[in-house]
């Protein structure tokens, strides 16, 4: 009984076996069903793997890319210890700051003001309405202005 050639499957499929070794391999595959099955499975697996191979090479980053990466690193290092401290504390302060914001909002919504008593410019409504001229005062003021204009034209 011959030994199985499963360990030579890859070399056979790549074409690295010598002519005599290749002939022995093919002879054995014709006689051995398990090696024939292994060869057909290896061929189908290689065909599936060929689909995964990229059609073209990936793009090579240019010098501009490396310059941008270098500048970004320099900017991060330029912040110094204060920038690193702020970056490390930022996640720790997010929840307490949100809680303080909610508490402040709740306090302002429940805080009682005297805004209902105050009117425009801080005058109480009774004083403000008393300072507004009524219709009769408006007519009297208009007549006074007209009489003053007439007197001025008669003097000239």
Same domain, residue pair 130 and 98 = no
- Domain assignment present for residue 96? The answer is yes
Same domain, residue pair 12 and 45 = yes
- Domain assignment present for residue 61? The answer is no
- Domain assignment present for residue 59? The answer is no
pLDDT at residue 41, rounded to an integer? 92
> How many distinct structural domains can be found in the chain?
3
Residues of the chain with pLDDT under 50: 1
Residue 89 lies in domain: 77-111
- Domain assignment present for residue 90? The answer is yes
**pTM (2 d.p.):** 0.35
CA atoms within 13 A on the CB side of 127: 8
Report helix, strand or coil for 112.
coil
């Amino acid at each position: 009984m011959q030994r199985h050639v499963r360990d030579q499957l890859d070399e056979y499929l790549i074409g690295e076996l010598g002519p005599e070794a290749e002939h022995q391999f093919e002879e054995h595959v014709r006689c051995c069903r398990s090696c024939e099955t292994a060869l057909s499975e290896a061929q189908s697996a290689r065909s599936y793997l060929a689909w995964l191979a990229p059609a073209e090479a990936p793009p090579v980053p240019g010098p501009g890319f490396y310059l941008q990466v270098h500048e970004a690193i320099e900017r991060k290092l330029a912040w110094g210890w204060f920038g690193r401290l702020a970056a490390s504390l930022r996640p720790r302060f997010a929840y307490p700051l949100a809680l303080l914001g909610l508490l402040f909002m709740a306090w302002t919504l429940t805080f009682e003001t005297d805004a209902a008593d105050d009117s425009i410019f801080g005058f109480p409504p009774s004083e403000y309405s008393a300072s507004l001229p009524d219709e009769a005062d408006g007519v009297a003021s208009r007549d006074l202005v007209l009489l003053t204009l007439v007197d001025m034209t008669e003097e000239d």
